[in-house]
Chains A and B, each alone.
Chain A
Amino acid sequence: MTRDTRTSTETAPEQRTDAGRYLPADAIPETAPSRETEWRTRLTEAVPTLPRLLKYVLAIGVALLWIVPFLGLFMASVRPLSEILQGWWNVERMTFTLENYRQAWSYSTAPMGRALLNTFVVTVPSVLVVLLLGAMAAYPFARFEFPLKTALFFLILLVMAAPPELVAMGNYNTLRNIGLFDSYMGLVLVHVGWGLGWVVLFLRNYLLGIPEELEEAARIDGASRYQIFRTIILPLSAPALVSVAVIQFTWVWNAFFFPLVFMRSPDLYLAPQVLPLMRGRLQVQWGLVAAGSVMTLAVPVILFMLLERYYKRGMVAAVTD
């Protein structure tokens, strides 16, 4: 991809006649995938055989099993409790109501409306700071040579191994001592520290895949390391940064343990913290819980659907490289 951009910028001035609609001949990769096999499989696809039919039945069956809980959650969130107790799948005599959402939004102990806002307030800085610091830390590990590099890198990687429960007590004490306990600042700091482990690994691996010649050219033109970082490295790693952003966002948004330990004032509760409170004591308010769940999951699920490609790439690359 980087190759293509370079060749097209080089050849751009004299090839303006086609208005940039076609790639120059030398920008077409030599190892283009052969269409032949794909064409053949396409032909077999048109003819359903018994094993293939079985495969579709299985694939769709599992997909149903996966989607049913979501469906149930949504159904429960828009129906009164009496109907939910009869089973949400009974659709005759269904009453549609938004009462559950209204109640959840202004739930007495900790209103969901405010909790969602709080979650945003924590998540957005956690993502932005991790992006910036992660890219900064990944750059020297991909390009510089210095003593202790491997040792420091392993120190980063081991962060991924430590269970959050392990450091919670230590962080609890530190945050209390420096006065950041029960504040978003402290929570963001902890989230950033935890996120950096895999972010640095992922971005460093990505940077190693960017050819160095691009920077070489800039260096010859007298660009400083900072300029190279800002004008070459950052733009080129944009797809990786999107992957990092979407995964870290989901991660922080969904986090429960850190808020549970560090956020004690009900005013400051985050959405995942409020949800278990809604269950009530004697009769579980399933409708209320379902409405709260839908509100909590809406943002990360929409983000996931929009940026699924990046999400998958990040999840795969974070482990296989």
Chain B
Amino acid sequence: MADTGETETVSGSRAAAHRGAGDDWHGRIRRFSKSDFVRGLPYWFVPFLIMGFGVYGGIGWNTLISLTDYEGFGQPPDLGDLDLEMYAQALQDPAVFVTTKNTFVLMIAFTTITMILGLFLAIMLDRDIRFREKIQTIYLLPMALSFVVTAQFWLWMYNVNNGLVNTVVGVFGLGPYNWIGNPDLVLSAVIFALIWQFSGYAMVVFLAGLQSMPDDQFEAAKVDGANTLEMYWDVIIPQLKSSSVSAAVILMIFALKAFTFLYSMFGQYRVPQATDILATLMVREAFQLQNWAYAAAIASILLVMSLAIIAPYLYYQYKQGSL
């Protein structure tokens, strides 16, 4: 279909060339107006406008503001002197250091454990099991919830006095622990709740990968006398590489966005220091303390981090031809 479009324009241009220099200009306009670019324009122009306004405009404004000393409203930001002062300040700020560390801990622990758990669940549900669909639905259910809801009920489960978690560990003669109040435990508690919410997602991705594998691979491994563990480790898991990479990228991006969960769990901009991540620091600086320029600089750091995750992935996918 694209081919016919091209032959049409090619013959058009040839006709225009024959008619001489006077018509050439007209021909070019007509050719241009019939090109796929112009014909495609009505389809993608409005979506791009909205994306440009919603996302790229925001990013551009953010970058610009991060170079100023802008603080709150009233007067427009002074665009006269742009410098990297805010970035220099951020690099020396102990809060930025702590939140960056927490962001990495959260991201890596959350992604790794979620993937391992998801893989485990997927292998468990892949074959020789009944009620697969029902069990899958249950594992996946938390994905349909808002972070706000998850935060509320995990807060309740973690309650020192009457939470279910302490009751359960109490059965084993442990605790009670103050999961939320204790700075050593709170990050783990948050990570656990996030894992609960997202491992169903990892499971679905892995399960799709497993089910697309032909049965004879499993059969062949069995004929070779490999036990189940060896079979999965040597034959099946290596083939899940592309599913794993995709799932990891998405989960890491989610981890960077954990602001909503933390904010609604603690009900305020100021979250316990042990769970303070870059996103919470940034929102607090902007919307509570009105340090807009500084918040914008932190946001830029966050953007660079997400780009560092997703850009190589997209490039790799593009090179593979799967994009």
CA of A261 to CA of B279, assembled, Å: 14
Inter-chain contact A166/B59, CB cutoff 8 Å: yes
A315 neighbours in B (Cβ, 8 Å): 143, 201, 204-205
Nearest-neighbour CB distance to chain B for A156, whole angstroms, equals 7
Interface status of B183 (Cβ within 8 A of chain A): no
Partner of A196, one of B50, B59, B157, B161: B50
Nearest-neighbour CB distance to chain B for A315, whole angstroms, equals 6
Inter-chain contact B264/A193, CB cutoff 8 Å: no
B157 neighbours in A (Cβ, 8 Å): 69, 72
Interface status of A238 (Cβ within 8 A of chain B): no
- How many of B's residues come within 8 Å of A, CB to CB? 104
Contacts A59-B124, A296-B149, A320-B205 given; does A171 touch B54 at CB 8 Å: yes
Interface status of A242 (Cβ within 8 A of chain B): no
B153 neighbours in A (Cβ, 8 Å): 69, 72-73, 290, 293
Interface status of B97 (Cβ within 8 A of chain A): no
Mask, B1-45, CB within 8 Å of A = 1, is 110111000000000000000000000000000011101101110
B147 neighbours in A (Cβ, 8 Å): 254, 256
A286 neighbours in B (Cβ, 8 Å): 156
Nearest-neighbour CB distance to chain B for A59, whole angstroms, equals 6
Inter-chain contact A37/B215, CB cutoff 8 Å: yes
Partner of B205, one of A72, A196, A276, A319: A319
A160 neighbours in B (Cβ, 8 Å): 253, 310
CA of A134 to CA of B43, assembled, Å: 9
CA of A275 to CA of B264, assembled, Å: 9
Mask, A277-321, CB within 8 Å of B = 1, is 001000010100110010011001101110010011001100111
Interface status of B96 (Cβ within 8 A of chain A): no
B88 neighbours in A (Cβ, 8 Å): none
Mask, A125-137, CB within 8 Å of B = 1, is 0000000011011
CA of A213 to CA of B125, assembled, Å: 39
CA of A137 to CA of B55, assembled, Å: 16
Between A41, A68, A163, the greatest number of chain B beta carbons within 10 A of the residue's beta carbon is seen for: A163
Inter-chain contact B146/A253, CB cutoff 8 Å: yes
Between B146, B200, B247, the greatest number of chain A beta carbons within 10 A of the residue's beta carbon is seen for: B146
Partner of A169, one of B128, B209, B246, B296: B296
Inter-chain contact B148/A296, CB cutoff 8 Å: yes
B247 neighbours in A (Cβ, 8 Å): 319
CA of A156 to CA of B296, assembled, Å: 22
Partner of A144, one of B40, B125, B161, B311: B40
* Residues 278 to 312 of chain B near chain A (Cβ within 8 Å): 279, 282-283, 286-287, 292, 295-296, 299-300, 302-303, 306-307, 309-311
Interface status of A96 (Cβ within 8 A of chain B): no
Contacts A63-B135, A256-B147, A293-B153 given; does A169 touch B141 at CB 8 Å: no
Interface status of A62 (Cβ within 8 A of chain B): yes
Interface status of A15 (Cβ within 8 A of chain B): no
* Count class of interface residues, chain A: 35 or more
Inter-chain contact A192/B146, CB cutoff 8 Å: no
Contacts A41-B128, A256-B146 given; does A140 touch B40 at CB 8 Å: yes
Contacts A133-B50, A143-B1 given; does A279 touch B307 at CB 8 Å: no
Inter-chain contact B204/A312, CB cutoff 8 Å: yes
Complex: chain B residue closest to A73, CB-CB: B153
Nearest-neighbour CB distance to chain B for A297, whole angstroms, equals 5
Complex: chain B residue closest to A165, CB-CB: B279
B143 neighbours in A (Cβ, 8 Å): 250, 304, 315
A316 neighbours in B (Cβ, 8 Å): 204-205, 208
Nearest-neighbour CB distance to chain A for B150, whole angstroms, equals 8
Mask, B142-172, CB within 8 Å of A = 1, is 1111111101111011000110100100000
B286 neighbours in A (Cβ, 8 Å): 168-169
Inter-chain contact A300/B55, CB cutoff 8 Å: no
Inter-chain contact A320/B65, CB cutoff 8 Å: no
Nearest-neighbour CB distance to chain B for A274, whole angstroms, equals 9
Partner of A140, one of B36, B129, B250: B36
Q: List 18 A-B contacts (CB under 8 A).
A: A41-B127, A41-B128, A44-B128, A62-B139, A155-B56, A158-B307, A163-B253, A166-B58, A190-B54, A193-B50, A193-B51, A250-B143, A261-B287, A276-B263, A289-B152, A296-B146, A300-B146, A304-B143
| Extra 15 A-B pairs, beta carbons < 8 Å, given A140-B36, A160-B310 | A136-B43, A152-B48, A165-B283, A165-B299, A166-B62, A167-B54, A169-B61, A169-B299, A170-B58, A196-B47, A254-B149, A272-B264, A296-B149, A297-B146, A319-B247
Q: Which 7 A-B pairs have the closest CB atoms?
A: A193-B54, A167-B58, A170-B58, A140-B40, A254-B146, A170-B61, A146-B37
